[in-house]
Amino acid sequence: MWVSGFGIQGTRDTYVSSQITVMHHQTDLGRSLQAPKPETRNPQWHSQCVTSPVPESLLIGLTALQTHKRAMEVTSHNLANATTPGFSRQRAELTAPVPEDSNPGQIGRGVDVDAIRRIVDTLTDERLRASSSETGRLKTLRDNLKTIELVFNEPGENGLSGVTNSLFNVLGDLSNNPESSALRSAAVQELQTWTSTLNDLSTRLDRLKQDVRSSIEDQLRGVNQVAEQIANLNQQIRRQTLSGNSPNDLLDARDKLINELSGYLELRVRRNAGDGSALIDAGGIQLVGLDSSNPLRAEIRDGGGVQIMTPNGGILKPKGGSIAALDELDRNIIPGVVGSLDGLAATVAKRLNALHATGTSQAMNATSFQAAFTVPTNGLQLNLDDTQLAQIDGEGAGIPPLFAASFTDAAGNTVARNLTINVRDTVTGEARKYTVHYDPLSGTGSRSMQDLVSAINTGTGGGFAVEPTNAIGIPGVRAKAVAVEGGWQFQLSAGTNQAIDFSPALDQRPTNTQWSGPQVTVSTVAAIPLAVGDRIQFDVERIVPGGAALQLRLSTRNAADGSTVSLGTVALAGAPAIVPVPGIGGSGQLNVDLGAGTYREGDRFVVDLNVGGVVLQKDSAVSGPYVQPNEHVATDAGFAVRGRYSGSLSLGDNQTGTPPFTTWSMRVVTAGTIGAKTSSDPLAAQPPVVEFSYWGGTSASPTQQTVRKILDETLPAGTPVQIADGVYAVFDAGDLTLTDPGEDATFTVDAEPDQAGILSALGIGGMFTGSTAATLRVAQRLASDPTQLNTGLTRAEGDNSNVLRLIGARNEKLYNNGAFTLDDTYSSILSDVGVRINQAERLNDNQSTIKAALENQRQQVSGVNIDEEVGMMILQQQAYTAAARVITFARENIQTLLDLAR
Amino acid sequence: MDRITLVGLNTAVINNTQKTLARLATYQEQLSTGKKLNRISDDVVAARQSLRYRTDENATGKYLDNIDKSLAYMGATDTALTEITGLFDQAKSIAVQGANGSQDANSRYALSQAVDSYLTRMVDVANTVHDGRFIFGGTATTADKPFAVSADGSRVDYAGNLDTFQVQVGANSTVAVNQDGYGLFKQDVDVFDAMVQLRDALRDNDSGKVAQLIDTVDAAQRHANNLQGSMGGRIQRLELSRAQLETGRVYQKELISQAEDVDFTEAIAGMQLTQVALEAGLQSAARTLTPSLLDFLR
């Protein structure tokens, strides 16, 4: 590249001028070293060499003296700027002017500074600029990614992974001792630490994003400043260049600024050799024109991104440089990390909410539930799994998409779903279990919040229906859609001394098993055309408010084939009363004597025509009371069902043509006294035999099973009687009488209390409220009363099964389409950041090496070598001395001539 | 030939020194923290492993803790059963005495009093409380005593439930720690009923019945013994899992250490080498940066 001596090689920049440069003597110590702006002189020496009486050698000496003086000035300038960043060394190019013709030969006209040449290699400069952009981008990227990494504070005890560990440790402690209220408080505390750690991560990432944005603004200010300076320089350089000068130091200054600018943005520089101007584009937008610059500004868009705008509305899409890195951080990287964290938070919340909502505990006494999510204003009639209920922008009304309910199977068909609601009497501890059953084929098949409210309050609503069927919906529970800001919230409330939960716990007492109502006496006043063994049934259909009157439905049952014939209804006014009931079989008549007491809707009295030792003869007239009606299940002793279903059959998956799997039943096979010993004495009390009928097997092949138990002295009253799969019954003391066929005591057993995920969707009974890393909080109910943590699936104080479910959720592959556990997901977020840092670091290292090499290359061409300059100076000095000598000689020659004339 | 300039030389020296210093700083951080993994980006693969092993190790610690608690619980069960078997031994010797024809009604009555006290003691044992909980009540652990003698003294009734108390001892495995009292004392063989019958036969001075009941008491004792044996088996299995988990935990700790901890020998050797490189670089820089032609212009 370099040729020794005075020769000059390299790419030519601009030269050929008659300008020389003289240093100003002020020193600029303010910032980095910089060659001050040169001063322009207009040298006349050049044209003075005309034919004159003065000897040629004097003139030649004079040109040499002046030329070398100038050359020394250039060399001094180089030496002075030996360490100035961006300075390119300059060379005074000496030539011998065109000689004067003479005879013989030509006479030389001395020496002349042909040009002050700036020695640069534009190709290296170009590459250096590209490298600056890339280094700027990578360095900014790396630094910011490292900040993200710091936010996570991993590995360590205080990062989310450490906090998660301690949360599950405390849950583990609680699982060992679910009775402890201290441990419940500790668990809720840890949950709060966990959510606030997540909130904090989100907040800090958000702050980082704000920082990145203000960095973009700051850097754009820098860009604008530099661009303006370049535009000013462009102006000056053009003026100089057009007037034939070579503004070397201005060119250096401009190159330096362009280099600085390319640290911010990747640039395209178009140089015009004619006027020396440099036009600069970035991302398709002209930044610097001939004499003006385009100031940029950042605008934050609604969607969240930052847009870089020019005054006339152009949009700059940064490609390289630190601004591109900031843009990428703002647009992709930080939102990506926040998004992953949000996904993690939502998945955890959804799963733990669902598990918590369907658990219970001895201390559980929720009398009301308020939804955590709001259904939009137009969403009251929309199906609960309608995508239109989805949350918009993570703010305000709507159900977050992940939390949406589902009423479809894997194939996308709408299927039946159950939601269990237990209503527990907080005084007696007994619960009634209701299923809000959704059947796509019943009603309108719709499944909106309004339908749900209507089903709970009236028994049916859209495709929802309450089971066991009840005209007033779920007694003791009222549902409401409450208007709130932005939409509707679901609300459940229980009556006095009632509590609601959604667990599979079976603290229920099958209804109508214990008769406590008044005795009803029936007598005939005319022949009854019925056979022995036939039955007359009286169903209390409606009680007139106040209990003053009731409406009975009469029906008969044929003993031979079990068929039932309804005989219509009759209203009885007041009680006790004797009311003739006409029309049985067309010609008979009965008197019904209502005993004093309270009647309930749904009560049934039956008259079996062979009971009580009196057989009602067909077509015979019998007078006087001969039978007291039995209660229909015919048990004097009541029983309660306890425990919870732990079998493998999915009880909600009812099949067409079979009774619901959730409906189990009990019938008395042999009457007897509970706890009595089996005895051969026919007069002694015998133990009763009961038979439970339940569904077993798997959902693919469900089978109806029966289990028979003798309630003898080994199973006295109060002893749990195992039925199947965790379900057991406890009988009260007393007698059991025969159950009539088809009138078994039924009870509801469920395993999946919320099959459709309605509770999660509405945000009822959950562990958390909120659905993003920023908004996740421990539900207020838990935070203010840790005893409300649902540790069990039954109400036994030592039941830890729900805590075990919560702990188990940690190892469930719920994330990333079922590929990752909670910990996998978190560590993949971290390793994503780590890998990005490594990548940026490696590329940055490479790029720094390249940049250093290029800078070195530039130095090799344009840098000042002191030895060289000093050598040059010595030569120039000697040449100057020699020129002075020539003048002395010439002067002596003139003197000699003058002496001759004297 | 490259043209060397002062600025170029200086920049190169600074760049190289910076790189060496950065390496030195890394070694210094590793040595002072004892960790080679101080942030995720130090080694992404190791960081992921470290997180997983830490979680695993933490879980293993929890499982071990659970097993210890369970063993204490089951130990209490075992102790209770031992005591019950012991009570049966005494009851048996009383039965043998009572069956002896030489005893009269009074002495049999006295013996029946003794059996009654054993029965009461047995019921107390069946109501054993460990860590504030009735261990034989299923998951009904605090409210009512699971066993109570009926008002007429003819039965011992069970008021607990049939649920098991599960404890997590592995990522996907739980063990039932408790045995509900019904399954233990009433199902198959009614342990208390044997005592009630013996007491009543003695009280009624029915030596023939007492003689017959020796076998019943024996059967009840065998039942209690069998249960104790199976409880012992469960304890043993749990202790085996504990041993396995402990071994696993040592291994997990080692893996964590491998992923996170610095190899001191390697780090110190590396640091010394880097130090030498730094010194050499600085010394050579000191020599190359100073001289210029100016030094020799006199």
DSSP annotation string for A373-424: SBEEGGGTTSBTT-GGGB-BTTBSSBB-GGG----B-TTS-B--EEEEEEEE
Q: Which residues of B touch A720 (CB under 8 A)?
A: 138, 158, 160-162, 182
**B290 touches A at CB < 8 Å:** no
Give the pLDDT confidence of A48-66 residue by residue, as tens digits: 444 455 677 888 889 999 9
**B185 touches A at CB < 8 Å:** no
B54 and A830 in contact by Cβ < 8 A?
no
The token duo for A146 is 């490292």
**Beta-carbon neighbour count of residue A840 at 10 Å?**
23
Q: Which residues of A touch B131 (CB under 8 A)?
A: 177
Q: Which residues of B touch A859 (CB under 8 A)?
A: 5, 7-8, 11
Please compute Rg for chain B using Cα positions.
38
Residue of B nearest to A805 (CA): B168
Going by the DSSP 8-state scheme, the letter that residue A788 receives in this structure is G
Q: Which residues of B touch A839 (CB under 8 A)?
A: none
Q: How confident is the model at residue A351 (pLDDT cuts 50, 70, 90)?
A: very high
Percent of the residues in chain A that have a pLDDT greater than 90, as a whole number: 36
Torsion angles phi and psi, residue A822, rounded to 5:
-55, -50
A798 against A579, higher pLDDT: A798
Is pLDDT at A23 greater than 50 in this prediction? no
Interface of B with A in 198-257 (CB under 8 A): none
Mutate to test the interface with B, among A719, A805, A875, A878 (most CBs of B within 10 A): A719
Mean pLDDT taken over chain A? 81
Lowest model confidence (mean pLDDT) among A213-217, A264-268, A699-703, B71-75: A699-703
Give the pLDDT confidence of A104-151 residue by residue, as tens digits: 888 888 899 888 989 998 899 899 999 999 999 999 999 999 999 999
Residue of A nearest to B189 (CA): A714
For position A902, what pLDDT does the model report? 72
A498 contact partners, CB below 8 Å, separation of at least 6:
A367, A423, A424, A425, A426, A476, A477
A83 and B7 in contact by Cβ < 8 A?
yes
Is pLDDT at B275 greater than 80 in this prediction? yes
For position A882, what pLDDT does the model report? 92
Q: Are residues A84 and A33 in contact, defined by beta-carbon separation less than 8 angstroms?
A: yes
Residue of A nearest to B158 (CA): A719
For position A30, what pLDDT does the model report? 38
For position A469, what pLDDT does the model report? 79
This model of the complex carries an ipTM of: 0.87
For position A237, what pLDDT does the model report? 93
Give the pLDDT confidence of A416-453 residue by residue, as tens digits: 888 999 998 888 888 888 889 888 888 788 999 999 99
Question: How far away is chain B from the Cα of A721, in angstroms, using its nearest Cα?
Answer: 9
**B55 touches A at CB < 8 Å:** yes
**B160 touches A at CB < 8 Å:** yes
Percent of the residues in chain A that have a pLDDT greater than 70, as a whole number: 79
- What number is the average pLDDT over the span A806-827? 90
- The bridge status of strand A417-425 relative to strand A431-438 is antiparallel
Q: Are residues A108 and A96 in contact, defined by beta-carbon separation less than 8 angstroms?
A: yes
Is pLDDT at A579 greater than 60 in this prediction? no
**B8 touches A at CB < 8 Å:** yes
A568 against B81, higher pLDDT: B81
- What number is the average pLDDT over the span A209-217? 92
In terms of C-beta distances under 8 Å and separation of at least 24 residues, what long-range contacts does A627-630 make, across chains too? A627/A521, A627/A522, A628/A519, A628/A520, A628/A521, A629/A519, A629/A520, A629/A522, A629/A538, A629/A605, A630/A605, A630/A606, A630/A737
Is pLDDT at B11 greater than 70 in this prediction? yes
Torsion angles phi and psi, residue A175, rounded to 5:
-65, -25
- What number is the average pLDDT over the span A192-203? 94
A2 and B1 in contact by Cβ < 8 A?
yes
- What number is the average pLDDT over the span B36-50? 89
Q: Which residues of B touch A152 (CB under 8 A)?
A: 40
Residue of A nearest to B296 (CA): A867
Of B62, B155, B166, the CB nearest to A801: B166
A867 and B161 in contact by Cβ < 8 A?
no
Mutate to test the interface with B, among A91, A865, A866, A873 (most CBs of B within 10 A): A865
Give the pLDDT confidence of A64-97 residue by residue, as tens digits: 999 999 999 999 999 999 888 889 999 999 999 8
- What number is the average pLDDT over the span B149-170? 86
A643 and B293 in contact by Cβ < 8 A?
no
Q: Are residues A514 and A636 in contact, defined by beta-carbon separation less than 8 angstroms?
A: yes
B41 and A175 in contact by Cβ < 8 A?
no
Mutate to test the interface with B, among A160, A711, A722, A856 (most CBs of B within 10 A): A856
Is pLDDT at A371 greater than 60 in this prediction? yes
Percent of the residues in chain B that have a pLDDT greater than 90, as a whole number: 37
Q: Is A372 helix (H, G, I), strand (E, B) or coil?
A: coil
B62 and A826 in contact by Cβ < 8 A?
no
